[in-house]
Chains A and B, each alone.
Chain A
Amino acid sequence: MNWIPSIFRRDKLYGDLSEEIRLHIEERAEQLIGEGLSREEAERQARLAFGNRTLLEERSREVWQWPTLESIWADLRFALRQLRRSPGFVFVAIVTLALAIGANAVVFAVLNGLFLRPLNVPQGQSLYSLQRGNEKYIVQSYPDYLDLRDRNRSFNGLAAYTIVQAGMDTGKDPSHVWLYGVSGITSTYWAFTRILAGSFSRPMSAAPEALRISCSHGPIGTVIFRTIATWWAAPSG
């Protein structure tokens, strides 16, 4: 653990070193003056004989350092000093980076949401949406759905859903809510409920539980009641 005290001794070590080198050059210069050189010339030659003082002082300090770590730190400090010196460049660089990173983040978020993130259901890749209708209005009748379901040979199962309106009263104020009505409790149905739960704008506190309610649409009556209730009850506390 030799290095711990040496960190604290550094300043003294470096100070001693600089002082020592200064005195060395001074002594050499004075000797040269004694030999008849002018002070200016003597000092020049003394510096020349010593070599690259900055470099040699740095090499001497390196002996006491953890070379890699400290040279990285020194490079960092140098970089920061350079940055401080040219704020205009820094501003342009930061704005450029920020725009580039922001744009990339947006593109990634869209891609991730649309294509990359798998659906939170088993074998999400084999989940299909069947639609029929025209460009403006995609809807099919419940009997059509029953025909499709009964004659289905391509899929493990089929489920239909629709958006229904209802009045909901949890004991406080009754209010108007929008519900997803989903047909039949099947594995396909559970896949649906999970996808639908994910599409709510508020986070759901629990997995949806199905409850049969009667509504004017007749047989399409299984509703993700719990989910809706959680979502709906949250604002009023």
Chain B
Amino acid sequence: MPVENKPMTKTASRDLFPGALEMMILESLRRQPAHGYALVQHIQQRSNNLLQVEEGSLYPALQRLLKAKLVKAEWGVSATNRRVRTYQITASGLRRLEQQISSFERMFEGIALVLNPVNPLPARRNLQ
């Protein structure tokens, strides 16, 4: 992954709406268990580096998820033979992820309507 020289300020994480990082973490973990560093890599690569998540901001989010028992963590050894703490999504984590995705989609639809009023959805037009 290319490394940027400019410091990644807090702006990157602040610009995400509340809960976005948690949602992306849960989604990444749904695909496969991972440790913190791999999660950052995964999120940045999957977003084509559009999301420059400050690496450290992952950890408060992970602790929140751990506390809510949406993920669980275990120390182990990675494929590259490193000592890592691997996170795994739990059953309630999966449920929460589904709820979050559906509410995110509604929010996204709403935002899209506001940003693109020229071409609203037909159903919405009838309401006006």
Binding site for B on A (CB under 8 A): 16-17, 19-21, 23-24, 27-28, 32, 35, 45, 48-53, 56-57, 59-64
B117 within 8 A of A: no
Q: How many residues of B contact A (CB 8 A)?
A: 25
In this complex, the member of B5, B10, B60, B67 whose beta carbon has the largest number of chain A beta carbons within 10 angstroms is B60
A132 CA to B56 CA, complexed, in Å:
88
Q: Which residues of B contact A56 (CB under 8 A)?
A: 56-57, 59-60
B85 touches A20 (CB 8 A): yes
B46 within 8 A of A: no
Task: Jot down 19 A-B pairs with beta carbons below 8 A, ordered by A.
Answer: A17-B63, A20-B59, A20-B85, A21-B36, A21-B59, A23-B82, A23-B83, A24-B36, A35-B3, A45-B3, A48-B7, A48-B8, A49-B8, A51-B8, A51-B54, A51-B57, A57-B59, A60-B63, A63-B67
For the residues of A in contact with B, the DSSP-based class is helix
Q: Which residues of B contact A61 (CB under 8 A)?
A: 63
A17 touches B59 (CB 8 A): yes
A49 CA to B83 CA, complexed, in Å:
21
A38 CA to B113 CA, complexed, in Å:
50
A58 to chain B, nearest CB (A): 9
B98 within 8 A of A: no
Q: A49-B3, A49-B55, A51-B54 are in contact. List 11 more A-B contacts (CB 8 A).
A: A16-B73, A16-B85, A17-B63, A23-B37, A24-B36, A48-B8, A49-B54, A51-B55, A52-B56, A59-B60, A60-B62
Q: Which residues of A contact B7 (CB under 8 A)?
A: 48
A50 touches B56 (CB 8 A): yes
A63 CA to B7 CA, complexed, in Å:
26
B64 within 8 A of A: yes
Q: Which residues of B contact A32 (CB under 8 A)?
A: 3
B87 to chain A, nearest CB (A): 10
Q: Which residues of A contact B73 (CB under 8 A)?
A: 16
A57 CA to B62 CA, complexed, in Å:
11
A51 CA to B56 CA, complexed, in Å:
6
A53 CA to B58 CA, complexed, in Å:
11
A35 to chain B, nearest CB (A): 8
A63 touches B82 (CB 8 A): no
Q: Which residues of B contact A27 (CB under 8 A)?
A: 37, 82
A19 CA to B53 CA, complexed, in Å:
21
Q: Which residues of A contact B62 (CB under 8 A)?
A: 60
Q: Which residues of B contact A64 (CB under 8 A)?
A: 63, 67
Closest B-chain residue to A63, C-beta based?
B63
B54 to chain A, nearest CB (A): 4
A171 CA to B54 CA, complexed, in Å:
94
Q: Which residues of B contact A21 (CB under 8 A)?
A: 36, 56, 59
A1 CA to B56 CA, complexed, in Å:
30
B84 within 8 A of A: yes
A157 CA to B20 CA, complexed, in Å:
86
1/0 contact trace for B63-74 toward A, CB 8 Å? 110110000010
A34 CA to B37 CA, complexed, in Å:
16
B37 touches A28 (CB 8 A): yes
